[in-house]
Structure 1
Amino acid sequence: MLQIGYRKAKKREGASYESVTDKLLQDQLNYYRERAPEYDDWWYRRGTFNHGDEASRIWFDEVSMVKDAFKAEHFQGDFLELAAGTGTWSCLFLKEARTLTVVDGSVEMLSHNPVVVEPNVRTISADLFSWSPDQLYDSVVFTFWISHLPRERLVGFFSMVSRCLKTGGEMFFVDDRAVAVTRESHVVGASGRAMVRKFNNGDHATIVKNFFGDKEIEQIAADVGIELYVHCTPTYFQYGIGSAA
């Protein structure tokens, strides 16, 4: 997943960075290494992320909305999943794929991803800010990643996605909506592009968290040759579906 500056410090709240340097992007890998064993608690609404039956129902209903939108497009062929992490979406992608290549900067996150043992899955541990594809793909997908990109790197990331896609290839992403993230129990502070999060053991870490507008993302994608349409569920998620020219 994301690679951003990590500082382990109990009771350290409100930390922020004026700029996102390469060192911060590299240091951030430590955050996801440490977070890997508890990452899925957020997705499955366990422990401190369980806000009651009604809140969980809304969450999973909206997860189903996004999954249904993805499945309705009938993605197929050779898939590339960027920032695959613990595989909360990898299993769905694998059902549609002939082959699936998963790329992530954290070996620890990938160690929790159930698809990596499958014969038609290739696993790559690499920094997404420097990684380059060695083949073209029918489908490129990424989940809960672009909100962790520094704003100045968003264009470069979508350029890389465009270079990964075959002509007519398809793209899908899903991410957080801003209003939903600020309600989460592990968020203890936010300022500008920085967000402070709390581990289960009480330690804190600072990550980058940016929220991009639907039209902004669509325009950036269009500029690199991807026709993308971005949508939102009522509360939690922003997602996009598109194809390369």
Structure 2
Amino acid sequence: MQKSGRPGPAGRDTAALLDEQMAYYRARSPEYDQWWLRAGKYDRGPRFLRSWDEETDQVRAALDEFGLRGRILEIACGTGWWTPQLAAGAEQVTVIDASSEMLARCRARMAAAGSDAAKLEYLQSDIWEWLPERRFEAVFFGFWLSHVPEVRFDSFWELVDGALLPGGRVFFVDSAESTGSSRIGDLAGTPETERRELNDGRRFDVVKRYFEPGWLRQRLAGIGWDIQVQRTARFFIFAQGGRIADS
């Protein structure tokens, strides 16, 4: 897929916005896990943390039940928060991320987990410039779809289609709503964009979308996917399915 210069949210050049988003996640890599652990500025107290952990466990249980087997592709792996779970049942896992810093942390996490290095493949590439060289039984992505602008939505799912074997399946998880802990306010008139601040005070604009499950299911059906989308009580959506043609 080629990067497009088409206008993105609020008329911004999409490619420039996605480059800024990439720079943000490279810079954020040392502190990214604070968000998952609800540490530092993400700490909302013990009650919030209990709910967060319970809902995370709910998604992980659904992923286990999904039964990832064979060759798995993980798009935008980040620090590898989900990768050990994917590798536990897979024959081979290919992870891709644009950030070398994120990939290094994913490697370290997998080594600490004692995962079999022989069945792990790490690829550094901008997903918008990458084409799969093989096909996979399943594709997984966590907290990535919300960073795909609407003008790239269809082309992203074309990439997923090209990465899957016939009958292949998809599982993804994402934010159900903003907890208000990562951003410093929506940019006026740009519902797809948030301004984020790192611990050192640097600020970046990123794409961030929040999907209503019914709307997302219909949006995907319109481009040929049969995806069941569920929501936890507060924090997450998670979804699974495949091509309508394979149903």
TM-based fold match above 0.5: yes
Point out where structure 1 has 5 or more consecutive residues left out of the alignment.
4-15
2:210 is paired with a residue of what secondary structure? Answer: coil
Q: Distance in 1 between matches of 2:156 and 2:214?
A: 17
The equivalent position to 2:183 in structure 1, one of 180, 187, 190, is 187
In structure 1, the residue corresponding to 2:79 is in which secondary structure?
coil
Q: CA deviation at 1:164?
A: 1.0
| CA distance in structure 2 between the partners assigned to 1:215 and 1:121 by the alignment | 35
Aligned partners of 2:121 and 2:86: how far apart in 1? 13
Q: Using the TM superposition, give the Cα deviation of residue 21 of structure 1 relative to its aligned residue in structure 2, in angstroms.
A: 2.0
Residues 162 and 225 in structure 1, CA contact (< 8 A), matched pair in contact too:
no
**More divergent stretch after superposition (37-46 vs 193-202):** 193-202
**CA root-mean-square deviation:** 1.9
- If each structure's helix is expressed as a fraction of its own residues, which one has the higher value? 2
3-state SS of 1:66 partner: helix
- TM-score, L = length of structure 1: 0.87
**In 2, Cα distance between equivalents of 1:22 and 1:189:** 22
Does the aligned pair in 2 maintain the 1:151–1:210 contact within 8 Å?
no
* TM-score normalised to structure 2 length: 0.86
Q: What residue is the counterpart of 1:67 in the other structure?
A: 60
Is the CA contact 2:185–2:194 (under 8 Å) kept in the aligned structure 1? yes
Number of matched residues? 228
Q: Does 2:82 correspond to 1:85?
A: no
- Give 1:152's aligned residue: 151
Matched, 1:169 2:162: no
| Matched residue SS, 1:111 | helix
How far apart, CA to CA, are the structure 1 residues paired with 2:47 and 2:229?
27
Provide structure 2 residue ranges, at least 5 long, that are not aligned to the other structure: 4-8
2:135 alignment counterpart: 136
Deviation at 1:152, TM superposition (A): 1.2
CA distance in 1, matches of 2:184, 2:229: 29
Could you say which residue in structure 2 is the equivalent of 1:8?
none
Distance 1:150 1:19 in 2: 11
CA distance in 1, matches of 2:10, 2:101: 26
| SS, match of residue 138 in structure 1 | strand
